[in-house]
Amino acid sequence: MPAGQTADAFPPPPWILRGRALVSVWLTEAPVLPAGLRPLRLGGRSLVVGLWADYGPGSTLAYREVLLATPVWDRRGPAVHVSCCWVDAPASVAGGRAVWAVPKRLGAFSPGERLNDAGVPVAALEDAQPSGPHVPAPLFGRLLQADGDTLVSAAFSGRARIAPARVRWTAPPGSPLARVAGRTPLLSVALSDLELRVGRPQRRPNGGNFRT
């Protein structure tokens, strides 16, 4: 570590993330969202996205990550709002919170795709494997978080090779992921050769014109 740099020092945006990931999508009850955001619904229920990722060589920071996110709308169109997130690098926790207002927490990842927070089990993946050929696909969207009375927005873009996957998420009662764990995903995909760029944030007052 360079002299004078603390364990939670973080690089400025944009961040480049390279590695692999598993993504699942569920239909579930409407989540609690900040004022100014409304969930994207399908058949009266909300879409929720789970990501389990491993960012390695070539990344701005190398770390593992698990998160739940909700596709949402605001006055400027569609976006993705992260409701809970764990990573295994203090610098990622500090940067995610300070730059993009993502509520990252420090977790520990163990073999077998298991996540713990302060020694308490949070989630695990079972039977996670691709079930078809990988095809190249672009990735793009907008991250949208609330920071007090401010909305923090940042574009992300990239590419990956994507294949259908069989994934079973599990979580103990009381875990923030228990609301989706054990449910059959609407779809799951495996991402290989993932390269994602998360851009600089823009901040604006939250008008609160949408409420859940």
Domain tally, the chain: 1
DSSP letter string, 43-61: TTEEEEEEEEEEE-TTSSS
Span 148-162, average pLDDT: 96
Q: Is the entire prediction scored with pTM above 0.85?
A: yes
Is residue 7 assigned to a domain? Answer: no
Is residue 185 assigned to a domain? Answer: yes
Is residue 198 assigned to a domain? Answer: yes
Is residue 87 assigned to a domain? Answer: yes
pLDDT tens per residue across span 51-85? 999 999 999 999 999 999 999 998 889 999 999 99
pLDDT tens per residue across span 128-147? 888 888 999 999 999 999 99
Could you tell me the residue range of the domain that residue 113 belongs to? Answer: 15-205
Is residue 162 assigned to a domain? Answer: yes
Is residue 195 assigned to a domain? Answer: yes
Span 10-39, average pLDDT: 93
Is residue 4 assigned to a domain? Answer: no
Who wins on pLDDT, 111 or 194? 194
End-to-end CA distance of the chain: 45
**116: domain CATH number?**
2.40.400.10
